[in-house]
Structure formats: C-alpha cells, structure tokens
Amino acid sequence: MKTVIEASEAVALGVKLSRVKVCPMYPITPSTHIPERISDYIFDGEMDAQMIHVESEHSAASALIGAILAGSRSFTATSSNGFELMYEILPILSGMRLPAVMAVANRTVAAPINIWNDHSDSMSARDQGWIQLYVESSQECVDTIIQCYKIAEDKKVLLPTMMCLDGFSLSHVYENVDLPGQKKVDAFLPSFKIEDKLDVKNPKTFGPIGFPDTFMELKKQQQDSMSNALEVIKKANKDYAKEFGKSYGDGLIELFEMDDAEYAILALGTICGTAKAKARELRSKGKKVGVIRLRSFRPFPVESLKKATKNLKGLAVLDRHISLGAKGPVFTEINSDISETNVFGYIAGLGGRDVTLEHIESVFKDLETGKQSKEWLL
C-alpha cells in the first residue's frame, strides 16, 4: 500500500507489522511520535500488544529484559539524554544475548540543551554490544525495523539492534512510503521464539556473575556474533529485496555513482541526500565523484568498505559526532582500516547545524586538490 506518512509513523508501522507484543516506553523528543502512534494502534484494536508506561528510560530498557525473557517480541524508542539514561542496561541486554530492537531518533546530548540532530547519543554507545543500523528515508525506516528483528533473532546473532534515524530532519518528515502487506511480512519474519526464557517448569538462571575464568570467553562469543551479523545483515537485505523489492546496497553500505568515482564522501543518515545532490550536479560537469552511505556502523563492514574504496584517489568522512580529545569516530575507524586511500575527516552538523551543498562542494574540492582546508564544517 502506497501512502505519505511521517518517518516516525513508518517506524511505528514497522513495529506493528513485526507483530511486537510488548512496548515499554518513556517518550522523549524527537522520538515521541513513535510511541504515540503505537499507542493509537493498540487503543484502536489494530495492534495486539501491551504498552508499559514506565517511569524513566532506564526502566524502559530494563522492562525489555523481562518482556523478552517472558517470550515476547519487544520494542522501545528513545533519544539523546533519555538514551544516556538507558546506558547501564545496554550492555546487560547485549551480554544476556537478548534480541531487543530499539529506534533511536538521533539528537545531540546536552549540555547545552539542544533538541536537534547529531549522532552523539548512539555513537557514544558504539561499544556496548548493540548492532547499529543508520537509515536515510521513511521507506527505509519501515523496512529496516522489520529487518532488525530478522537480524537480532537469528541464532547466529542474538544481539540487540538499534535503528538510528536523524531526529526531526527525518523523524518528523513526511515522505512517500510503500507499506508491505502483513501476510508477506509474516512469511518473512516468523513468530517470535526464544530458546532460553523464564519457565517455571524448566527453571534457568539469567544474568549470573561472570568469574574471571569465563568472562573473556563470553565476550568473545559476543564479538563472534557481531562478526556473524555482517553476513546475516546482508542476507536479510537480499531476502527482503527479493520479497518486497526494496534493498539498501549490500545491507551494510549503499553506493551512489561509485562505479568510476575518483573521489567520494562517506557519511550516515540524511547528510547523504545532500551529498548525493551535489555529486549529481558535479557529475554533470564531468567530475568523477560519488557517495558511500554507511548503513551498518556496528558491526563495522571493513571488507565492503575496502572493496568500495579500492580505486579512489581520495575519501572524505563526514561525522555528526566528535570523540572529544580525538577525531570523529567513523573517520577514526575508516582511517585505521582503509589505509590504501587518502582519507580526510570532517566534523559536520553538530547540534542540528545544516550541512549545505556549499559544504559538500568544499569537501569535494579538498579531495580534488589533495589538501584539506578545514576539519570543522561551520
């Protein structure tokens, strides 16, 4: 069904189509419209689920533990400092191997107080064992939420997964969306089953102490599962494309005008739309430029990136977060793993600052001259 909806509603519809049963929620701007729409579906009898009205984001994340261990496919959404309040629970969910799914409407972390978009919330949790997928459009929101459950619940993975969408610049934007049918989603995403759960007839212990003789082995299992997730994400994207006609690159990265590109910009989220527009314009003037959209930040797709960048003369990475005292986190990883290409790193769009066509053109000019004029796109 084709319709025009807000990206937040696209997320909520993806949750509904995934037949989620429990939604612990504590709304925070700009993720608020997601639980609002889900509550409408539940109240109107369109969604057979329970919303838990918790007292904080910390409680929302904690409730995911109980809901999943009780055998229910579960979901929550958050942003910014609310996401930070969940922080204690994030490694617990991943360490317990619980396939939770969360939407993060990316918003800068205070102080100073700022309700606009950058990636400082989710990027700050990149080491907590969650898969992180970043989306660009409302269509991708609904498609990716469904894929998140397919990925997280795969027995080779069993890790929590967050889908990150830019706050306001995507979460509150209305776009054309082609909604998949419920029967086809049911065929793509089987009903939720978890092997280890709370059962009075088969008692088990969850979250026990990890002694020094076992802790490292358990962490290695999580790392191995992250490695497994690379192929699982690719397969989920490929299978989804086959069933629904929608795909996003290889699932890990998406390429634009990269076949003969000599210079490229790499970024996440809605910046990529601006970068594509400028790349298209420069292409019409004979410039061999392209755009790489990083969809999966965790796990980090080193091999896909190496393949995409192997023929480039220069690559620019635009980060919407700064690891204070160091560089942008995406640039740091790219620069570490893609040593064959000249890489420039830029800090852009912090606190909702616009990233303009002029910014993008200046970055491509830097790449062509082989000299970076500045690090901060102010």
Residue 98's pLDDT is what? 98
Give the architecture-level CATH label for domain 2-244. Answer: 3-Layer(aba) Sandwich (3.40)
Is 1.10.3720.10 the CATH classification of the domain at 253-369?
A: no
Type of residue numbered 139: Q
In the chain, what are the domain boundaries?
Answer: 2-244, 253-369
Check the CA dihedral 186-21-179-117 and report its sign. negative
The set of residues, in sequence order, having a beta carbon less than 8 Å from that of 57 and lying 6+ positions away, is: 26, 28, 78, 82, 83, 85, 86
What's the gap between Cα 46 and its chain centre?
27
| Residue 280 backbone dihedrals phi, psi, to 5 degrees | -60, -45
Asked if 229 contacts 252 with a C-beta cutoff of 8 angstroms, the reply is no
Tell me what the pLDDT averaged over the chain comes to.
97
Tokens of 252: 């890990």
Tokens of 18: 């995934």
Q: How confident is the model at residue 113 (pLDDT cuts 50, 70, 90)?
A: very high
Percentage of the chain exceeding pLDDT 90: 97
What's the whole-number mean pLDDT along residues 166-189? 98
Residue 371, pLDDT > 80, answer yes
Residue 341's pLDDT is what? 77
Same fold, 2-244 and 253-369: yes
Q: How confident is the model at residue 269 (pLDDT cuts 50, 70, 90)?
A: very high
Q: How confident is the model at residue 340 (pLDDT cuts 50, 70, 90)?
A: confident
